Amino acid sequence: MATLLIVDDDSLIRDTLHELFSESHECHTADRAEQALAYLDVETYDVVLTDIAMPELSGRELLKHIQANHPATPVIVISGLSNEADARALMDMGAFDYFAKPFRLEDIEDAVDRAIVRHQELATAGQSADQAEELQSAKTLTGRPKPN
């Protein structure tokens, strides 16, 4: 079961997405990016879905924070603006996918499924890299692989 963080100041969108995903995934919701940052400090998420236009800290700033501190966590961006230039800019910043409101729930479901697979691939690759680095450190110290 994947863990999702849904961030949107619009309670209708937030509650709809929570209802859509809560039967098959563990879902946490936040109505502000600041609240999402607090959750990210204590929990690891497989996918974050975030609105862009929110009071105070924007979804764009949240995306930057996640890219810097949780690079293996895919971020799906939802926006009330259907501006192609903004969509490209957000994708260039590292967003996994972008949806303009109104969106089809089936499209969001598909994107979340793909993002979960991507997160699992990155997490596995990260573990492999950590294991390789640990093995390399052991070889550097002893000249031979560390026994298991």
Residue 122 binned pLDDT confidence (cut-offs 50, 70, 90): confident
Q: What percent of the chain has pLDDT over 70?
A: 84
- Strand 26-30 to 47-51 pairing: unpaired
Residue 132 binned pLDDT confidence (cut-offs 50, 70, 90): very low
Whether the predicted pLDDT of 66 surpasses 70: yes
Helix residue spans in 28-83 (DSSP H): 33-42, 59-69
Across 94-118, average pLDDT = 95
Task: Note the pTM of the prediction, 2 decimals.
Answer: 0.83
> What pLDDT is recorded for position 7?
98
Instruction: Decide: residue 23, CB within 10 A, 0-12 exposed, 13-18 middle, 19+ buried.
Output: exposed
> What pLDDT is recorded for position 39?
97
CA 48 to chain centre: 4
**Residue 83 or 135, more confident:** 83
> What pLDDT is recorded for position 127?
57
> What pLDDT is recorded for position 145?
46
